[in-house]
Structure 1
Amino acid sequence: MEYLKMNYSDINKINIGEVPAIIIEPNLKTNKTIVFYHGWGSCKENQIFRGNIFASYGYRVILPDARYHGERNNIDLDYTAEDIEAKYILKVIMHNIEEAPSIFKFIEENYPENEIAVGGHSMGAITAGGLYNFKKDLKMAFVYNGINDWHALVDALNKIKKEEKIDENEFRINEFFLDMNPMDSPENFKDRPIVLYNGEDDDIIDPAGQESFARKIEKIYSDKKLLDFQTFEATSHQVTTQMLEASIIFSKEIAGF
């Protein structure tokens, strides 16, 4: 991690309740904090480079470890196994959402009057989209290679699992995602700034699902500039420098964040 340290930011490990996290603090005073969630099979350390980019533009960045990831990988999951991902990913996202209030409380207590945004990649993007739906005072969402149509998400994962009957716990998790589907609450997004960026060649999350969500909520936006959905050519399931640049420009020039 030493090589990632920069003159314009301080990088420190912290614990927010039971959540191990990294906080990247820009050297200039800021009243803007981004909580950025990593994807499946990743960890908070792998997001430091991205976090440094945001910090260089004046944002404080908090990078949490998700359950079963990073310091919390206490059951040694095989992240490359499709059936393991299908079995656990919704549990991890739901746990992210359940833990988020403690992170927001930490920000409010330690950085009063801060504006808070959420962001993430892949599994982290799904987390961020859900939190933006639930928490109306969040100022912006950076959603990279995610999907906010949770019905399509649940269906896709159930097809991978190929189970004739799911257990009660998994059933309850599926019901949570179907009941709280952002696709069914477009009014929660109206005129709130959000970037929805997907790779055109993504073979992990079909960008068509996110496009369906974007087109649905676009209908109720009075100021359509605040909704920025883009698919990036020749881009797979990754966050590119082009995506980061476009989202920071949007944040500064359109969202005022």
Structure 2
Amino acid sequence: MIVQREVWEHIPLLHVHTSEMTVENPTVIFIHGFGSGKEHNLHFAYQLVEKGVRVILPDAHLHGERAEPNTTKEQLEPIFWEIVMRTVGEVEILYKKLQDKGLLTTKAIGIAGTSMGGITTVGCLSKYDWIQTAGICMGATSYPKFAQHQLAQFEKAGIEIPFSEQQLAETMAILDAYDLENKANILQQVPTFFWHGKEDKVVPFEMSYPFFEKHGENSRSAYMIDEKAGHVVSRAGMLAVTDWLAQHLA
């Protein structure tokens, strides 16, 4: 297995593959969570590469190699959605670079991620019609609903929100354009695997399951629930989502 550090455009990433892979092999772009970095998802990449899937692990804006000195997670929280939307745009840059490099001749590509990465995957599904399959671990299918949840949590914790009412309204209007719940047929169009723990306090289970419950029956998609898990993907979940991605890209 080969793990190459590369920079595509301005985006540092890990390109994980084997010497036996060709342009016929499918690809997954896998996106890390908030406050994390590309290296932290190498276990997902290992499972996918073992199944014949090339993996691209990028660093999100202000994360990993792109982090600024002494920047804390608390300082990044107010610009969470800026990071998410920027990453959605950068996924398309990576997709085009894969094409430019001749690595997507079969057009077999999936997008997946955990937490912020799962939320970014939701935005990609709402924006791009070239995704063949997706994996959403601990994600939220509605950007505005999750943003409202975050605001409520900030208020509960006594954290002052550095935005005016007008700025918040403008942000919500922008987030609505990424709302997967505006696309009722998406679970039929793109085979999507969800994983979520019922005890998740960071991105609550209720941020994704009701949408699946309403539109997922008899669709091409699936939802795996862990009754006891919090905001950490279990080994069973990791194996299930990587199996799903590989099978639906085969």
Measured against the shorter chain, the TM-score band is 0.7 to 0.9
Equivalent residues in 2 for 1:46-125 (5 A)?
46-74=40-68, 76-79=70-73, 81=74, 84-110=75-101, 111-113=103-105, 114-125=107-118
**Structure 1 residue 11 and structure 2 residue 9: aligned?**
no
Using the TM superposition, give the Cα deviation of residue 252 of structure 1 relative to its aligned residue in structure 2, in angstroms.
4.8
The Cα offsets for residues 112-171 of structure 1, whole Å up to 9 and x where unpaired, read as 314110000000000011102211121110111111122211101222444577246665
Picking from 148, 151, 156, the partner of 2:149 is 156
Match of 1:28 in 2: 20
Using the TM superposition, give the Cα deviation of residue 57 of structure 1 relative to its aligned residue in structure 2, in angstroms.
1.0
Name the SS of the counterpart of 1:34 in structure 2: strand
Match of 1:250 in 2: 244
Partner AA of 2:138 in structure 1: N
| Distance (Å, rounded) in 2 between the aligned partners of 1:85 and 1:193 | 32
Match of 2:38 in 1: 44
- Structure 2 residue runs of 5 or longer lacking an equivalent are none
State whether residues 136 and 188 of structure 1, in contact with CA within 8 Å, keep that contact through their aligned partners in structure 2: no
The Cα offsets for residues 160-187 of structure 1, whole Å up to 9 and x where unpaired, read as 4445772466654432112321111223
* Residues 26, 170 of structure 1: alpha-carbon distance in 2 compared, 3 angstrom cutoff: farther
Comparing 183-192 with 94-103, greater Cα deviation is found at 183-192
Using the TM superposition, give the Cα deviation of residue 197 of structure 1 relative to its aligned residue in structure 2, in angstroms.
0.5
Greater relative CO (CA pairs within 8 A, separation 6+): 2
State whether residues 12 and 23 of structure 1, in contact with CA within 8 Å, keep that contact through their aligned partners in structure 2: yes
Q: RMSD across aligned C-alpha pairs, in angstroms?
A: 2.1
Partner AA of 2:17 in structure 1: E
Count of residues in Structure 1 that have an aligned counterpart in Structure 2: 241
* Residues 197, 205 of structure 1: alpha-carbon distance in 2 compared, 3 angstrom cutoff: same
The Cα offsets for residues 38-61 of structure 1, whole Å up to 9 and x where unpaired, read as 000100111122211211111100
Identity %: 19
Match of 1:203 in 2: 201
Comparing 115-124 with 51-60, greater Cα deviation is found at 51-60
> Under a length normalisation based on structure 1, what TM-score does the superposition of the two structures give?
0.85
* Residues 136, 175 of structure 1: alpha-carbon distance in 2 compared, 3 angstrom cutoff: same
State whether residues 24 and 60 of structure 1, in contact with CA within 8 Å, keep that contact through their aligned partners in structure 2: yes
| Distance (Å, rounded) in 2 between the aligned partners of 1:116 and 1:70 | 24
* Residues 76, 169 of structure 1: alpha-carbon distance in 2 compared, 3 angstrom cutoff: farther
| Distance (Å, rounded) in 1 between the aligned partners of 2:71 and 2:127 | 29
Name the SS of the counterpart of 2:40 in structure 1: helix
The Cα offsets for residues 203-256 of structure 1, whole Å up to 9 and x where unpaired, read as 11111121012123326xxx53x2111211321111222012222333455x35
Name the SS of the counterpart of 1:190 in structure 2: helix
| Distance (Å, rounded) in 2 between the aligned partners of 1:134 and 1:216 | 21
State whether residues 20 and 64 of structure 1, in contact with CA within 8 Å, keep that contact through their aligned partners in structure 2: yes
- Structure 1 residue runs of 5 or longer lacking an equivalent are 1-8
State whether residues 143 and 197 of structure 1, in contact with CA within 8 Å, keep that contact through their aligned partners in structure 2: yes
